[in-house]
Amino acid sequence: MIPRYSVPEMTAVWTDEQKFQRWLEVEVAVVEAWAETGVVPREDARAIARNARVHLPDVLRYIDETHHDVTAFLRSVADSLGPESRWVHYGLTSQDVWDTATSLQLRAALDLLQADLARLCDVVARRALEHRGTICVGRTHGVHAEPTTFGLKLAVWFDEIRRQQARLESARATVCVGQMSGPVGTHATVPPAVEEAACRSLGLAVAPLTTQVLQRDRHAHLVSVIAGIGASLERFATEIRGLQRTELREAEEPFEQGQTGSSSMPHKRNPELCERVCGLARLLRGYAQVALENVALWHERDISHSSAERIVLPDATGLLCYALRLFTGVMEGLQVYPDRMRANLESTRGLVYSQRVLLALIESGLSREEAYGIVQRHSMAVWDAPAPDERQPTLRGLLAADPAVGERLDAARLDGLFDPRAYLVHEDESFRRLGLLTRDAPATAENGSRAREGS
């Protein structure tokens, strides 16, 4: 991971020092499990647990000589012990140690990711409640559709984050497993009881059956979930980027004192944080592809996956950690402009209420085709009007002047159809479905007209 996108706590999980320390934890757990069976003398097991050390510079020097990480590691450990070192790695093969230790590293990485995802979920929930009743226009195909609220938009994000939390928890259960099954996974040199005792000591579940390696569908599932979380972050960030466009400017990411948006144009305030999130999400999808390709290994085992995982697992967890923290900061400092939202909503001069008029005309007795034709004809007249000025037609005005409408809908009824507060009627129920509101919470009130600009 390049320093620009690294998170110190996550980087620490994947250092060589931590990797070899996790290897040592696995080796000690297996020695102690052997001691429970009586194979390893308890005095030797205690000496190993007390004295075994791994010295990184020696390991790296031995790797240059042996061209094998595990034998180099074992040689370094043996340097710290006496004759009892013969019990270290007893019955094991390299992948027993490597894969189980990787599970320990992944568990530590997932502790960080799950905490960061929970924090983002809390922030989005708070901002959703803050903007319950903040009316804005909903867009489909990039075109004004009907009024919604900014709170509902964020509540949908909250629900998506919760689904991603469940997926990450499932992936955690899939990868937090250990194996000590020996060459080709037969347990011929390591009985299942030793494997079970060692995994229990390490706090890992036991993989029911392996082939000298943990099957890589486990890791592919995790990296795919990581990529999926990245895709959600990209979706949220893309929405903010769209809303920050000059002609919309309904919301924008934080812009700090002294920050510059362009080397040439002093006025620029670009959504560069959200753009960074989108770029990182693309990388995460690439890592998912690599993890999926790692699933297919030759026969019981090869190490074609190993070189890729040395990059993919640290970088995927590290980039997601960075992106989560970056986007959480965006959401905490997100600037929201309710007045601008209301102005944009009204810029199409009532077109967003066309469906409510359509339904009212149908209720009055017109066929759907007749009602649709009336509303569409007047809507297109509003669409096609020349550049904005106070003389431009409004949908409300054109409908009121149409006798076919006037005989069915009086002025008071038309006024009600063009009231955006009608779109708040079921907002509270939506929030209750998500557990964001209790039954006794105060009802939604429109925030748009009274919310502070730039909240």
Residues belonging to the active site: 141, 262
Pairing of strands 251-252, 335-336: antiparallel
Buried b / exposed e across 167-183, counting CB within 10 Å, b at 16+?
A: bbeebbebbbbbbbbbb
Backbone angles phi, psi at 335, to 5 degrees: -90, 125
CB–CB of 164/231 below 8 Å?
no
The four Cα atoms 281, 282, 286, 291 give a dihedral, to 10 degrees, of 10
Q: H or E stretch including 206?
A: strand 205-206
Q: What is the 3-state secondary structure (H, E, C) of 318-346?
A: HHHHHHHHHHHHHHHCCEECHHHHHHHHH
The residues with which 335 forms a beta bridge, in sequence order, are: 252
DSSP assignment string, 395-452: HHHHHHT-HHHHTTS-HHHHHHHT-GGGGGTTHHHHHHHTTSS-TTSPPP---TTTSP
Cβ neighbours for 286, distance < 8 A, ≥ 6 positions apart: none
Strands (E), 104-201: 135-140, 143-149, 177-178
Q: How many CB atoms lie within 10 A of CB 184?
A: 15
As to burial, measured by CB atoms within 10 angstroms (0-12 exposed, 13-18 middle, 19+ buried), residue 299 is exposed
Task: Give the C-alpha separation, 316 to 1, whole Å.
Answer: 9
Instruction: Assign 3-state DSSP to the chain and report helix, strand, coil percentages, each to 5.
Output: 65, 5, 30
**Residue listed under structure tokens 């226009």:** 137
Contact residues for 239 (Cβ-Cβ < 8 A; gap 6+): 153
